[in-house]
Structure 1
Amino acid sequence: MLSQLSGRTLYKVMSACCGSAFMLYGYDAGVLGGIQSTPQFLDAIGNPKGVYIIPIIASIYNLAAAAMASLPPIQASSYSVGQIITGRIICGCGIGCIASAVPTYMAEMSLEARERGPEVCWQLALLITGVALAYWIDFGFVQGLETRPYLWRIPVAMQACFAIFSAGGLVFLPDTPRWYYYRKRIPEADAVLSRLYNLPEDHPIVQAQKKEVLTSINEEDNAKFNILHFFWDNSDYQVGRRLRTSFLILFAQQFLGINMLVYFSTTIFLKLGYSHFLSGILAAVLNTVFALASYPPVWYIERIGRRSMMFWTSIGCGICMLVYIVLTTLPESSQNVATNWSAVAMIMLYMVVFGFGWLGPPWIYGPEIAPLKYRHVAGGLAACGEWLSTWVMVFGGGTGIEAVGPKIFIWPLICCFIAAVYVWFYCPETTGRTLEEIDYLFAKQHVRDRMNQMGIGSAGDMRRHSVHSIEKGRTGSYTQYIEQAETSSAEQVKFDEVKFGQV
């Protein structure tokens, strides 16, 4: 039955399945946070000694987040450190595949440029909702651990619910039309485009999208990648720069310190002097605030833009981190109830700022700037960057919290301001452009001129406006607009864009 869906219904089913996969991602990231400090959990794995063990357990699955999926219940049956680490590694393999595939899949399935950012932001909001859900479920089950010490296993095993729902739906869904076109499977690609638009395959809108994708694919055949371009790229299409940015933007995201707070929020509140009960509540509230802050970008990312959101919120995160460090490193005689609660407020504010500007934009930015030929590579590099830096921050940060306390946050504080500089100078704005037009954005001028003649770039803007005019029932001839876009000079197309309200 799912194989017969089309139009917006098909898109919503895809969004739901991918959203469940990302909720699994978030739930898995948070599920140990609320139980890893409890005596019952520590008893079950043999009361390991040393400041490194818990950070290793929390972070080890990040190292495995690039291989294949497996089942999460291995963790729920753990009776030793080795067993739970094995379970985390296996689960990390699956989460790594999800992290690399979901943003790319939904970006390529978006019918319009303006849908791409909100859709991926929606997926990331569900991810953080999964984190918050994990902490609240942990909190509920932890209350009964004294009489039933096995209860901590239930929230860990519940990860399987998200995996089953997501896998059950995705198995019936098509791959992206761009993937089919690139592999010369034209009939299948046409059929998917037809289903997405809910229009016949010979409809002008479907044919216009097909022509733009195929033109971009033909142009990308000239985009050769040399491994040295990953470090220094002066080529016509800047493939190396784009892949490098895909990796670095998510590598930088984690160095802002977000997962140090997510993974160890209960521990952080315990070190502020709060009880286990209150620390559990505060950790759940903290991640709920984070989840709530991650939803507004769904409506604002296309208005503000990826680059502006990342730049200003990295500065905001740095300021919040600075105030938190000052409050928590005051002389003991100066620390009191007010300074502790002010520190809690700063962490909450940091979560709001990060959730608004640094959660969704980096995830969409990496896959969308990559050329189609290398988009799967960009998705993998982006996820790899995120998971490697997460492992560094969770393992190093978790160990540092135990060793030096709040001073460890000087590390992400510095990284917040470095990230702002990087975004300002190295990340051009991509908001409002189709995936094919982003190729135009990164190309050298002589390549842009050729792409204009083939209907990408400014001419592509014109074609997209023509398509939107048809969709919204506006007057005007589609054929006339397309012919004009294909034959006009770049200057004439620019004039026409202004005329039709495109700029």
Structure 2
Amino acid sequence: MGALINLRGRSLYRLMKFICGVAFMMYGYDAGVLGGVLLHKPFLDAIGNPTGAWTIAMISSSYSLAAAVTTVVIAPFTFRLGRRGTILLGNATAVVGSVIQATSWSVPQLIVGRIITGFSIGCISSAVPTYLSETGMEIGDRGPANAINAILLISGVPLAYWIDYGFVQYNGQFSWRVPIIFQCLFAITSGGCMWFLPDTPRWYYARGRPELGDDALCRLADLPLDDPKIQLTRREIFMAMEAEEEAKSSLKWTQFLTSGITDKTPLRIVRRLCICFWLPFIREWTGSSMLAYYSTVTLSQAGATPTLVSLLAGVQNIIFAAGCVPLYFTVERTGRRATLLWGAIAMSTLMLIFTVLQAINPTTSMSWASIGIIWTFLFVMGWSWQGCVWLYCSEIPPLDYRHLGGAITAGGEWLATWLFVMVLPVGLENIKWRFWIFVLTGNVVAVVFVYFLCPETGGKTLEQIDYIFAEPGTFTPGGKGFTGGEDFDTEQQKTWTVEEKSAEVQQAEKVEHGRP
């Protein structure tokens, strides 16, 4: 373990990406593992063969609901725990929840296990994207790191499916208990490695622990403290902290009731936090989780035969995961806003075609066309909205509110997942193909939302993003004359010489020591 403690530079950041990816893969695995055994006879025998339709629905949805509640409950404490501490808490409770589920002999015990695991995933989904974004030393680090996270997250779903598929060929109790306990390997690996790693430099500075912040910053950059690059980064962080401190006085809780529309604060803090909630909420409204959770149901509705539906569901999950791969190569070139916007336009078009096909009396060729549209839709979703939403929402909150932004993002994700996963089977049963009009509406809303409310954040440091959202002319950092707004030009900041910035570090240190 000494090697982990002594890692520096890119090797350290690669390990951080791996650990966060493993935690997110557990998140995807746990989301999919129970779905593969819900109708398995040994599983049903173990929990007493429940007959009520709502019982199975509650077993499945208790996980999502617990994750949504967790993000709200832990939000006031995550700033004290830190990004690292929240991830460790999530991994520890994941082991407890998995053991309770795998040893269940009743519905109540299983639901308790699901709730504890939901608490775990609520912690992990709140903290991991922020941890990745705040530990990246280069501007281009954040996009690929979060893309890898998305790839591993969605890869966890087909992994769970195929493990289930292999084990349910047997009839013993182990056939469903082993797949569930398997997720402990993810938690032990991620949590065990994370124990030896630092928190983010920005969190240390925000908590008034500059020595630890300096140490983490120097380890990540593999440079001494007096290096100009380290000094520039420190200065930007402290300058952002000072601006955010000044902006706090104009915050009002009533601004949250209007989703930030009435937000007149200099840094638009409320508006940014509201985007963190609505962007993942809209992502679930577009149909991603509904198609993933009920892949066998939707494929059957699309016309797949019973003999093929299980195999096609497995292929569908692989396609969804494969769709996340291109984001790794494109996100820093095309930007966040363009990826989200053009992805939403393509998804709206595909969902419109799918809805029309479902409204027409199906033939064999139309059934296969519908399945092809679903697969194309999920591929586009994986490339555009699956990873890019996590990335965007980890970038836009100010430093002092980034823990809250992570919690709000995960809360929007899980609240929408629980709501729409509960609604889909009821909708398909009662209004048939017309339910997909509701899903199509979500895709159209996604286009409008991104076009009007989501400025581009790529190509900028986390601190520079403050000035994108700031009202033009509200403040001029360092007295250098550049102002906020979407048209903020990063090149203006580059005109500062290293000597100018380094000379201002003394002022930044005054801010540092004035923090609580």
TM over 0.5: yes
The 5 A counterparts of 1:79-118 are 79-118=105-144
1:170 maps to a residue whose letter is M
1:490 match = none
Does structure 2 conserve the Cα–Cα contact (< 8 Å) formed by 1:136 and 1:284? yes
2:387 match = 360
Does structure 2 conserve the Cα–Cα contact (< 8 Å) formed by 1:229 and 1:239? no
128, 132, 135: which is aligned to 2:154?
128
The 5 A counterparts of 1:18-417 are 18-65=20-67, 66=70, 69=90, 70=93, 71=96, 72-145=98-171, 148=172, 150-224=174-248, 225-230=251-256, 231=258, 232-272=262-302, 274=304, 278-331=308-361, 335-417=362-444
SS in 2 for 1:221: helix
Q: Decide whether aligned partners of structure 1 residues 73 and 405 sit closer, same or farther in structure 2, where only a CA change above 3 A counts.
A: farther
Distance (Å, rounded) in 2 between the aligned partners of 1:161 and 1:407? 42
Cα deviation code 1:28-50 (max 9, x no counterpart): 11112222233443333233234
Cα deviation code 1:326-373 (max 9, x no counterpart): 323323xxx232222111111101111101110111111112111101
1:424 match = 451
- Per-residue deviation at 1:62? 1.1
Distance (Å, rounded) in 1 between the aligned partners of 2:473 and 2:435? 49
Does structure 2 conserve the Cα–Cα contact (< 8 Å) formed by 1:33 and 1:266? no
TM, length-normalised to structure 1: 0.88
Does structure 1 conserve the Cα–Cα contact (< 8 Å) formed by 2:21 and 2:153? yes
Distance (Å, rounded) in 1 between the aligned partners of 2:161 and 2:481? 52
Distance (Å, rounded) in 1 between the aligned partners of 2:403 and 2:5? 24
Does structure 1 conserve the Cα–Cα contact (< 8 Å) formed by 2:232 and 2:501? no
Which stretch of structure 1 is more off in the superposition, 315-324 or 430-439?
315-324
Q: Decide whether aligned partners of structure 1 residues 144 and 48 sit closer, same or farther in structure 2, where only a CA change above 3 A counts.
A: same
Q: Decide whether aligned partners of structure 1 residues 159 and 403 sit closer, same or farther in structure 2, where only a CA change above 3 A counts.
A: farther
- Per-residue deviation at 1:181? 0.9
Distance (Å, rounded) in 2 between the aligned partners of 1:22 and 1:175? 18
Does structure 2 conserve the Cα–Cα contact (< 8 Å) formed by 1:34 and 1:280? no
TM, length-normalised to structure 2: 0.86
Distance (Å, rounded) in 2 between the aligned partners of 1:480 and 1:196? 24
Q: Decide whether aligned partners of structure 1 residues 101 and 461 sit closer, same or farther in structure 2, where only a CA change above 3 A counts.
A: farther
- Per-residue deviation at 1:99? 0.3
Does structure 2 conserve the Cα–Cα contact (< 8 Å) formed by 1:307 and 1:429? yes
Does structure 2 conserve the Cα–Cα contact (< 8 Å) formed by 1:315 and 1:417? yes
Distance (Å, rounded) in 2 between the aligned partners of 1:308 and 1:23? 27
1:267 maps to a residue whose letter is V
Which stretch of structure 1 is more off in the superposition, 385-394 or 49-58?
49-58
Gaps of 5+ in 2: 75-88, 505-516
Distance (Å, rounded) in 2 between the aligned partners of 1:174 and 1:140? 39
- Per-residue deviation at 1:203? 1.1
474, 479, 498: which is aligned to 2:499?
479
1:304 maps to a residue whose letter is T
Which stretch of structure 1 is more off in the superposition, 20-29 or 78-87?
78-87
Q: Decide whether aligned partners of structure 1 residues 481 and 218 sit closer, same or farther in structure 2, where only a CA change above 3 A counts.
A: closer
Distance (Å, rounded) in 1 between the aligned partners of 2:307 and 2:177? 19
Q: Decide whether aligned partners of structure 1 residues 53 and 187 sit closer, same or farther in structure 2, where only a CA change above 3 A counts.
A: same
SS in 2 for 1:436: coil
Distance (Å, rounded) in 2 between the aligned partners of 1:190 and 1:483? 18
Q: How many residues align?
A: 471
Q: Decide whether aligned partners of structure 1 residues 323 and 280 sit closer, same or farther in structure 2, where only a CA change above 3 A counts.
A: same
Does structure 2 conserve the Cα–Cα contact (< 8 Å) formed by 1:255 and 1:412? yes
Q: Decide whether aligned partners of structure 1 residues 321 and 40 sit closer, same or farther in structure 2, where only a CA change above 3 A counts.
A: farther
- Per-residue deviation at 1:273? 5.7
Distance (Å, rounded) in 2 between the aligned partners of 1:365 and 1:454? 27
2:240 maps to a residue whose letter is S
Does structure 2 conserve the Cα–Cα contact (< 8 Å) formed by 1:23 and 1:130? yes
1:340 maps to a residue whose letter is S
Q: Decide whether aligned partners of structure 1 residues 76 and 190 sit closer, same or farther in structure 2, where only a CA change above 3 A counts.
A: same
Does structure 2 conserve the Cα–Cα contact (< 8 Å) formed by 1:27 and 1:131? yes
Q: Decide whether aligned partners of structure 1 residues 190 and 413 sit closer, same or farther in structure 2, where only a CA change above 3 A counts.
A: same
Q: Decide whether aligned partners of structure 1 residues 398 and 162 sit closer, same or farther in structure 2, where only a CA change above 3 A counts.
A: farther
- Per-residue deviation at 1:451? 5.5
SS in 2 for 1:296: helix
Q: CA RMSD in A?
A: 2.5
- Per-residue deviation at 1:404? 4.0
Cα deviation code 1:42-90 (max 9, x no counterpart): 3332332343333322221111112564221211222222222221111
Gaps of 5+ in 1: 467-476, 485-503
Distance (Å, rounded) in 2 between the aligned partners of 1:115 and 1:193? 15
2:247 maps to a residue whose letter is A
- Per-residue deviation at 1:276? 5.2
Distance (Å, rounded) in 2 between the aligned partners of 1:448 and 1:217? 14
- Per-residue deviation at 1:270? 3.9
Distance (Å, rounded) in 2 between the aligned partners of 1:53 and 1:168? 36
Percent identity of paired positions between Structure 1 and Structure 2: 41
- Per-residue deviation at 1:184? 1.8
Distance (Å, rounded) in 1 between the aligned partners of 2:122 and 2:372? 32
Distance (Å, rounded) in 1 between the aligned partners of 2:348 and 2:53? 27
1:417 maps to a residue whose letter is V
